[in-house]
Amino acid sequence: MNAELFGSQVNVWVDALVRVLIIVGMMTVVVMGLIWFERKIIGRFQMRLGPTRTGPFGLLQSVADGLKLVAKEDVRPKNADPWVFELAPYFVFVPTFLMFVAVPFAFGFQVRVLELGLFYVLAVSSVSIVGWVMAGWGSDNRYAMLGALRAAAQAISYELPLVMAMIAVAMVAGTLNLQEIVLGQSRLPNIVLQPLPAFIFFTATLAELNRTPFDIPVGESEVVGGPFVEYSGIRWSMFFLAEYAAMFILALLGSAIFLGGWAWPMGEQWGASWQLLLTTVKAGAFIFLIFWVRSTLPRMRVDQLMGFSWKVLLPFGFAQIMVNGFILVNGWPAVTSGVLLGTTSLAGLFAVGWIVQRSVSRPRPRPVMMARSEAAQ
């Protein structure tokens, strides 16, 4: 059995090994870059400088952090369940990297072109929650336990809107193959046709990644790090690595299915390097948005988070699918159905915004002012 790798025929196992090594190596570098990027960006949002000490512009900060984490003592609490505690990082780490297999970078430039790529990514991404719950349970710590249960509830709630958003896109694209979804957007990115699913996808991504405003499983001021509270050193850094790797992958995915990946606006005729650059820029914008949200918004509460998912995002996701179906089943010309899709979806997005605003508004949010005579009584 032979497979094609960089234009030459090699054994499939060698091929697989080489690809895995490339992924792990690349992801480690990317994650380090992302951590540095996040610290710099959030620093600027907070009018700070971010890391400046290690290397030029603090570029080596992640290396220094990594070295420190590797050198740190790997502590296991006395009452922890040894197997569950030790294995948990792998259950988070491995599924995250498996997601990478189907993600498109450029035309023909991905690990595997899977026919059910979208489905595969979704299926694999939900495995890592097992690792979170294992970490929370195995640590024998109450904060960790609370965090793990929060994480499980959150993952279940937000998996569904994520699926709904992706189904809506798949309906428009007519395929689950990620490469073809991207190719189909060479003239118009999906975000124009499907703004509501794009919003749902972004929200659900934040929840999947446990990032603000959905960082309740790891909420620093409540459960002090959640499931990771007992982890240290290399094990903790595996969670960390997986978190950022997942962020990068979901950003790539988001840019592929909503922003047109490498295809929009130049189509497929441009070279692979341009396409790569385009993908990176779009994913970078996506990640920048995540950082921006992180540095701005407060954390939601666990019941509000559930309510938002089940009462707002999920019904709207269903509605979008139904509307898509009603429009697409007629087989109208592309322009007609495109305009209809875009307007209905945008209306849905505004409806979500209105509901969110409505749910918290109070008649008079400003305090009453008491002048001197009234106050003196």
Nearest approach, Cβ of 198 to other proteins (angstroms)? 15
**Stretch of 183-191, 256-264, 313-321, 364-372 contacting other proteins, by CB under 8 A:** 364-372
**Is residue 293 within the footprint of other proteins (CB under 8 A)?**
yes
Binding status of residue 303 toward other proteins by CB under 8 A: yes
Identify the residue among 34, 146, 148, 247 touching other proteins (CB under 8 A): 146
The one among 47, 71, 334, 335 contacting other proteins by CB under 8 A? 47
Task: Examine residue 56 and tell whether it contacts other proteins (CB under 8 A).
Answer: no
331: buried, middle or exposed (CB in 10 Å: 19+, 13-18, 0-12)?
exposed
The total of other beta-carbon atoms located within 10 Å of residue 23's CB is 17
Would you count residue 221 as binding other proteins (CB under 8 A)? yes
CB atoms within 10 A of CB 111: 16
- Contact (CB, 8 A) for 166 and 122: yes
Nearer to other proteins, 328 or 351 (CB): 351
Does residue 368 bind other proteins (CB under 8 A)? yes
Alpha helix (H) ranges present in 216-333? 220-223, 233-257, 272-296, 302-307, 314-328
Question: Which range, of 158-166, 249-257, 333-341, 361-369, touches other proteins by CB under 8 A?
Answer: 361-369
Selected range binding other proteins among 82-90, 251-259, 295-303, 317-325, rule: CB under 8 A: 295-303
Pair 335, 370: CB distance under 8 Å:
no
Q: Which of 58, 66, 117, 213 binds other proteins (CB under 8 A)?
A: 213
Chain Cα centroid distance, residue 182: 18
CB of 242: closest distance to other proteins in angstroms? 20
Q: Is 224 in the site for other proteins (CB under 8 A)?
A: yes
Residues 148-187 that bind other proteins (CB under 8 A): 150
- Cβ distance to other proteins smaller for residue 44 or 68: 44
Beta-bridged to residue 2, according to DSSP, are 11
Q: How far apart are CA 119 and CA 135, in angstroms?
A: 26
Residue 360 binds other proteins, judged by CB under 8 A = yes
89 or 213: CB nearest other proteins: 213
CB 35 to other proteins: min, Å: 14
CB of 146 to other proteins, least distance (A): 7
The candidate with the shortest Cα–Cα distance to 89, out of 249, 242, 247, 250, is 242
Our finding on whether 299 is near other proteins (CB under 8 A) is: yes
- Provide the minimum distance between the beta carbon of 371 and other proteins in the complex, in angstroms, as a whole number: 6
- Separation CA 343–CA 143 (nearest Å): 45
Distance CA 297, CA 218 (A): 15
Nearer CB in complex with other proteins: 329/347: 347
Residues in 245-274 that interact with other proteins by CB under 8 A: none
Rounded (10°) angle between helices 195-208 and 142-173: 160
Residue 67 tokens read as 């070295």
| Residue positions counted in the chain | 377
Q: Give the 3-state secondary structure of residue 366.
A: coil
* Contacting other proteins within 73-92 (CB under 8 A): none
Judged by CB under 8 A, the residue of 39, 235, 282, 294 near other proteins is 294
Task: Report the alpha-carbon distance of residue 332 to residue 256 in Å, rounded.
Answer: 25
Amino acid letter, 340: L
Going by the DSSP 8-state scheme, the letter that residue 2 receives in this structure is: E
Binding site for other proteins (CB under 8 A): 42-49, 52, 142-143, 145-146, 150, 212-213, 215-216, 219-224, 292-304, 352-353, 356-357, 359-362, 364-372, 374-376
